[in-house]
Structure 1
Amino acid sequence: MSIKIVADSSCDLNNKIKETMKIEIVPLTLILEDKRYIDDENLDVSGYVKDMNACKTSPKTACPSPEQFMEAYKGEESIFVVTLSSALSGTYNSAMIAKNMFLEEIGNKFIHVFDSLSASAGETLISLKIHELSKLNIEDAEIVKRVNKYIKEMKTFFLLESLEHLAKAGRLNPIIAKIASVLSIKPIMGATEEGTIRLVQKVRGYKRAFDKFVDTIGEEGKNLEEKILGIAHCNCLDRALKFKEEVLKKYNFKDIVIVEMQGLSSTYADDGGLVIAF
């Protein structure tokens, strides 16, 4: 089957994944005051994060236009699209508009847009699942059915050094972020079934929060031996590797994949942030 996976730039990848499957990333635009950054492979993420933390105003993001998605829909017979949670971004709507425009203007083609109900490592795992299923010689509709089930069962959690940018961007109550900062509380957050953000645990001090983050997998997950764990990090590979090391002591995942965050994920996670999905 000739397929292509299309994802927005919240889908964090590593070189091995890029080499393994055919995936095209449609970038979001990141805005700091009057400066715009295209969130593609040419973005200096570390430099962007430094600029963001030096900026006096809140970072803003702009989702890709339908025209950008339409361009990505060209090529293969079947197109599977993975976007940020529709509860957090307009990217899903843009991808859907593009699908309708493409089918009207260019003709009949299989295009399906998945709302990840997640972000970052969650999108990574969904893309890997699509790639895996495409090798089974099953119908497009069956791939959609199985991926929808996967999305429904997938868990996403994150542990951040600071909640400041998440609050500034309107993704979290600013009062929660302020209290967390004053009391040195490191909240463990997670995705809801609707793709919004929920508070999972409140832990004082990073070391205790890190340990609890590992424990959260056992508390929230099941049948882990059948699953892949995705770990996305923002400029903290050592921390991601340490997390993997601690996970391996407790759990038996089928595989563990580590990816570095691109600009969009880094906008909310900031330096030291970890996002996991399984």
Structure 2
Amino acid sequence: MTIQIITDSGADLSKAMQDKWQIKVTPLFVHFGDQQYQSEQLSTANFLEMLEKSKRFPSSSAPGPHEYYQAFKAIPGDQSIIHFSISAGVSSAYHHAEMGKNMLLEEEPDREIAIINTKSASTGMILLISETVKKINEGLSFTNIITHIEQRIKHLHTIFVLKTLDNLIRGGRLDKVKGAVAKTLNVKLILHASTVGKIEVLEKVRGHKKATRRFIESIGTCMSNTAHNTLVLTHCHAQERLDEFLTKINQDYHFENILTAETGPVISAHAGQGAIVMSFFSDQPRER
């Protein structure tokens, strides 16, 4: 029996990753007023241009349970399904996918389907998918893969460093007055996905250089040896900034594999242009 991996566009998989790993992607949606777009309909550059011109901050939404049901039903019955969902702490996508799974199981109770609440987004989802592909190629059973991935989530760190606070202010996630003060003081936010999958402030630092240093140092505080591990990085329309981070990371660490991609519209709306996101597995289970 083969295994089909499905995810949503909160994963920010590049086209090359989708093709290499044969991943099917269920699109999330972004809304500018009354206009709705599947996230794949907009490049990150086009989305940021629309965002700059729009008077209203965009919102995002997940497909309904029926859309997930249809996506799962389209997979041949002799294939197991593992669906990786953007964190239930930031989206209804996980719960809708669970409902879609249950709808299909009512019709076809012998289907083998697992819905994974990644408690993450972007790089965290890419890292979990990469790990799953590795375990599939090693010949692990469906049940053992699910157990392994659930354990890996306990070690998963997803950390964001923002270049601008504008999107957090426009989206109502940061008070305008506090945001103005922070910008005046050149405060940079380092955020992370908490153990329950909510985006929280990890650290506040003054200046770009210190933010870069603290962001990269967070790897070493969580991992004793990077040699046999994978690091995933995504950027919000900021390839040069990503290259700067990669240069510094390669000076300090020796990852076996580093994967990179660009954030799509859903993640870019909150992270803002210039944001860098990374994920890795820590030595010990996370405490916060």
Q: TM above 0.5, one fold?
A: yes
* Residue matched to 2:286: none
Deviation per residue, 1:136-181 (Å, 9 max, x gap): 2222110001001111101110011223323544555666544422
* Residue matched to 1:253: 255
Equivalent-residue separation in structure 2 for 1:58 and 1:11 (angstroms): 22
1:34 and 2:46 are equivalent in the alignment: no
* Residue matched to 1:216: 218
8 Å contact from structure 1 (residues 172, 197) kept in 2: no
What amino acid is aligned across from residue 50 of structure 1 in structure 2? Answer: E
Cα 1:166/1:64, change in 2 over 3 Å: farther
| Matching residue within 128, 139, 142 for 1:140 | 142
| Matching residue within 194, 197, 205 for 2:196 | 194
Q: Which runs of 5+ in 1 are unaligned?
A: none
Deviation per residue, 1:102-132 (Å, 9 max, x gap): 1112442111011111111111111111111
What amino acid is aligned across from residue 191 of structure 2 in structure 1? Answer: M
Q: How is 1:6-85 mapped onto 2 (pairs within 5 angstroms)?
A: 6-40=6-40, 42-73=41-72, 74-76=74-76, 77-85=79-87
Q: What secondary structure is seen at the aligned counterpart in 1 of 2:160?
A: strand
Q: What secondary structure is seen at the aligned counterpart in 2 of 1:201?
A: strand
Give the ranges of 4+ consecutive aligned residues of structure 1 lying more than 6 Å apart after TM superposition: none
Deviation per residue, 1:18-63 (Å, 9 max, x gap): 23212111111101122222112x4222111111122222210111
Query: Which of 136-145 and 89-98 deviates more?
Result: 136-145
Q: What secondary structure is seen at the aligned counterpart in 2 of 1:79?
A: strand
* Residue matched to 2:284: none
Alpha-carbon RMSD? 1.8
Q: Share of identical aligned residues, percent?
A: 28
Cα 1:173/1:23, change in 2 over 3 Å: farther
TM (norm. structure 2) is 0.90
* Residue matched to 2:208: 206
Aligned length: 277
8 Å contact from structure 1 (residues 171, 197) kept in 2: no
What amino acid is aligned across from residue 182 of structure 1 in structure 2? Answer: T
Cα 1:171/1:98, change in 2 over 3 Å: farther
8 Å contact from structure 1 (residues 8, 25) kept in 2: yes
What amino acid is aligned across from residue 8 of structure 1 in structure 2? Answer: D
Q: What secondary structure is seen at the aligned counterpart in 1 of 2:75?
A: coil
Q: Which runs of 5+ in 2 are unaligned?
A: 281-288
What amino acid is aligned across from residue 27 of structure 1 in structure 2? Answer: P
What amino acid is aligned across from residue 45 of structure 1 in structure 2? Answer: T
8 Å contact from structure 1 (residues 84, 115) kept in 2: yes
8 Å contact from structure 2 (residues 3, 142) kept in 1: no
